[in-house]
């Protein structure tokens, strides 16, 4: 008999309460696709007609967007491929509150227009009292483009050859700057640049001198560079790209520049990222002399680089709110990390998994502090678990080292340990034992698996 006669009608299947609820949560298209796929399987004889609704429910994506929550056990605190800084619960709450209509640019008392994002700007100004003016754009690259356009288009930016940084994914700060119509005046050499190099290059054509923090590499050996404080007497603005977004000194990272120090040292304008060590949303911060910030803020390009209400909400909550997850990870006690690793290893070994606690070294990532390692602890597992863990639900991303999969605990909060343990047990279970609907579903969406743990790069 023709099985097509027995394929349940789409309308009938969609009336299933579970699918009706999914339609409200995920949208009609997604649910209809899941139903159509189940109907196809019936036509091909691979599914009983009565199972169409169940199969469609099982195949539904868990989230309305393709971006899934991932457990970062790479040991890279700020991992660009994994979305950089995780937001604090306070920032997440602020984003949710601002998601609908909100007074981002409206004065509820006066009933008229107000300065856009004033709460975030006030919080930023308060966090960096040395800054006369503050402004927020889409990211640090945008902050640099805006500064170059507003302050140096058609003129020269003087920069050391030792600081011509490639940010990541093939993007380079010098190309970015030149794209604005400014000319680069490179001074010094790769390893050494002196005050005289800057002094001889500065002239009537100079828009500003730019100091770029070499946040993803180090130059060692016979080296020399000039501090911001030494460049302030040249009669032109000094712009400092500090990268990571530390607003004040971080004792654990003594070589990482911060905004307060850079301004105190005499920088006229500082640019930084919001989603590296600051621990907030993707954003670019401009801090410094009021007149320079105003020129950036009033430039027509500023409108194209402005941030949305969600960013402003998350940034304000990050600046005012409780400790960020990045700060917590940076300051995690190595002894506690070791205890966590040992507890996990014991639990996993008791279930028959080849797991042991090992010392590990975590890094800040491309977000800053190149060459700095942070003592950490990991659970060492057979490398073959890397793929099932990455493609499981939730995906767990570790790193391969010495032929083993290391799950480094520093970047993950202790609250995640139980979820990690359960994920490992599912991944390690012999085929057939992890056949729950959940696990079957999770396996299908694992695009992007690249054969080993995520690299240590944390590229910016």
Nearest distance in Å: CB 137, ligand PLP:
9
Nearest distance in Å: CB 273, ligand PLP:
3
Nearest distance in Å: CB 163, ligand PLP:
9
Residues 273-312 that bind ligand PLP (CB under 6 A): 273, 284
Nearest-angstrom CA–CA distance, 257 and 264: 12
Nearest distance in Å: CB 215, ligand PLP:
3
Q: Which of 74, 88, 140, 391 binds ligand PLP (CB under 6 A)?
A: 140
Contacts of 17 (CB under 8 A, 6+ apart): none
Residue 243 is a binding residue for ligand PLP (CB under 6 A): yes
Nearest distance in Å: CB 244, ligand PLP:
6
The structure tokens 């409780």 sit at 322
Residue 241 is a binding residue for ligand PLP (CB under 6 A): yes
DSSP 308: P
Nearest distance in Å: CB 240, ligand PLP:
10
Q: Give the closest residue to 33 by CA, choosing from 2, 3, 70, 60.
A: 60
Nearest-angstrom CA–CA distance, 42 and 49: 6
Residue span binding ligand PLP (CB under 6 A) among the ranges 10-18, 210-218, 261-269, 416-424: 210-218
Nearest distance in Å: CB 284, ligand PLP:
6
Nearest distance in Å: CB 140, ligand PLP:
3
Nearest-angstrom CA–CA distance, 186 and 160: 6
Q: Which helix (H) or strand (E) holds 136?
A: strand 133-137
Residue 141 is a binding residue for ligand PLP (CB under 6 A): yes
Q: Give the closest residue to 213 by CA, choosing from 432, 368, 382.
A: 368
Residue span binding ligand PLP (CB under 6 A) among the ranges 24-32, 85-93, 139-147, 182-190: 139-147
Residue span binding ligand PLP (CB under 6 A) among the ranges 46-54, 136-144, 323-331, 333-341: 136-144
- The residue count for binding ligand PLP (CB under 6 A) is 13
For residues 330 and 413, the answer to whether their CB atoms sit within 8 Å is no
Contacts of 249 (CB under 8 A, 6+ apart): 258, 260, 261
The smaller minimum CB distance to ligand PLP, of residues 56 and 141, is found at 141
Residue 460 is a binding residue for ligand PLP (CB under 6 A): yes
The smaller minimum CB distance to ligand PLP, of residues 7 and 143, is found at 143
Residue span binding ligand PLP (CB under 6 A) among the ranges 10-18, 138-146, 259-267, 307-315: 138-146
Nearest distance in Å: CB 76, ligand PLP:
14
Task: Fill in the per-residue mask, 213 to 232: x = in contact with ligand PLP (CB under 6 A), - = not in contact.
Answer: x-x-----------------
Residue 382 token pair: 């057979």
Burial category of 303 from C-beta neighbours within 10 Å (exposed 0-12, middle 13-18, buried 19 and up): exposed
Nearest distance in Å: CB 36, ligand PLP:
40
Nearest distance in Å: CB 460, ligand PLP:
4
Give first-to-last CA distance, the chain, whole Å.
Answer: 59
The smaller minimum CB distance to ligand PLP, of residues 106 and 171, is found at 171
The smaller minimum CB distance to ligand PLP, of residues 8 and 188, is found at 188
Up-side HSE of residue 110: CA atoms within 13 Å toward CB? 7
The residues facing 381 across adjacent strands are 405
For residues 148 and 137, the answer to whether their CB atoms sit within 8 Å is no
Residue nearest to ligand PLP (CB): 243
Q: Provide φ and ψ at 338, rounded to 5°.
A: -65, -45
Q: Provide φ and ψ at 230, rounded to 5°.
A: -85, -10
For residues 98 and 312, the answer to whether their CB atoms sit within 8 Å is yes
Q: What is the DSSP string of 69-118?
A: --EE-SSBSS-GGGTSSPPPHHHHHHHHHHSSS--TTEETTTTEE--TTH
Q: Provide φ and ψ at 93, rounded to 5°.
A: -65, -40
Q: Which of 53, 123, 167, 427 binds ligand PLP (CB under 6 A)?
A: 167
Residue 139 is a binding residue for ligand PLP (CB under 6 A): yes
Residue span binding ligand PLP (CB under 6 A) among the ranges 18-26, 113-121, 192-200, 207-215: 207-215
- Strand ranges of the sheet holding 356-363, from the earlier edge strand across to the other edge: 356-363, 373-382, 404-408, 399-401
Coil/strand/helix, residue 381: strand
Residue span binding ligand PLP (CB under 6 A) among the ranges 3-11, 117-125, 208-216, 407-415: 208-216
The smaller minimum CB distance to ligand PLP, of residues 138 and 380, is found at 138
The smaller minimum CB distance to ligand PLP, of residues 86 and 243, is found at 243
The residues facing 131 across adjacent strands are none
Residue span binding ligand PLP (CB under 6 A) among the ranges 1-9, 135-143, 301-309, 353-361: 135-143
Binding site for ligand PLP (CB under 6 A): 139-141, 165, 167, 212-213, 215, 241, 243, 273, 284, 460
């Amino acid at each position: 008999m023709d099985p097509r006669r027995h394929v349940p009608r789409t309308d009938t299947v969609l009336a299933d309460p579970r699918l009706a609820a999914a339609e409200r949560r995920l949208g009609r298209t997604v649910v209809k696709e899941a139903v159509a796929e189940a109907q196809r399987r019936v036509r091909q004889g691979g599914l009983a007609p009565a199972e169409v609704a169940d199969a469609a429910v099982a195949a539904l994506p868990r989230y309305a967007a393709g971006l899934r929550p991932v457990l970062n056990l790479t040991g890279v605190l700020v991992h660009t491929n994994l979305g950089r800084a995780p937001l604090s619960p306070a920032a997440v709450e602020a984003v949710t509150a601002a998601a609908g209509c909100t007074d981002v640019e409206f004065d509820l008392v006066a009933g008229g227009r107000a300065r856009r994002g004033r709460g975030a700007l006030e919080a930023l100004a308060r966090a960096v009292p040395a800054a006369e003016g503050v402004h927020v754009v889409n990211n640090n690259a945008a902050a640099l483009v805006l500064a170059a356009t507003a302050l140096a288009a058609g003129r020269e930016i003087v920069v050391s050859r030792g600081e011509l940084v490639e940010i990541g994914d093939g993007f380079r700060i010098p190309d970015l700057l030149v794209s604005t119509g400014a000319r680069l005046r490179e001074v010094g050499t790769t390893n050494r640049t002196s005050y005289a190099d800057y002094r001889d290059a500065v002239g009537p054509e100079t828009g500003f001198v730019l100091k770029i923090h070499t946040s993803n590499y180090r130059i060692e050996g016979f080296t020399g560079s000039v501090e911001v404080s030494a460049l302030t007497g040249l009669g032109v603005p000094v712009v400092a790209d500090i990268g990571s977004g530390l607003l004040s000194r971080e004792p654990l990272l003594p070589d990482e520049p911060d905004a307060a120090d850079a301004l105190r040292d005499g920088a006229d304008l500082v640019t930084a990222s919001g989603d590296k060590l600051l621990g907030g949303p993707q954003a670019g911060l401009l801090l410094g002399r009021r007149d320079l910030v105003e020129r950036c803020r009033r430039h027509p390009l500023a409108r194209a680089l402005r941030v949305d209400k969600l960013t402003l909400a998350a940034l304000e909550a990050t600046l005012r709110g409780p400790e960020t997850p990045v700060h917590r990870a940076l300051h995690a006690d190595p002894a506690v990390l070791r205890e966590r690793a040992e507890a996990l290893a014991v639990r996993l070994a008791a279930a028959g998994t080849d797991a042991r606690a090992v010392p590990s070294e975590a890094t800040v990532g491309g977000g800053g502090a190149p060459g700095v390692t942070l003592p950490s602890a990991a659970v060492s597992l057979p490398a073959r678990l890397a793929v099932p863990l990455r493609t499981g639900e939730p995906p767990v991303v570790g790193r391969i080292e010495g032929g083993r999969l290391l799950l480094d605990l520093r970047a993950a909060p202790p609250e995640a340990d139980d979820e990690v343990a359960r994920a490992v047990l599912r991944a390690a279970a012999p085929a057939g034992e992890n056949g729950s609907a959940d696990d079957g579903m999770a396996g299908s969406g694992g695009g992007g698996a690249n054969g080993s743990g995520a690299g240590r790069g944390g590229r910016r």
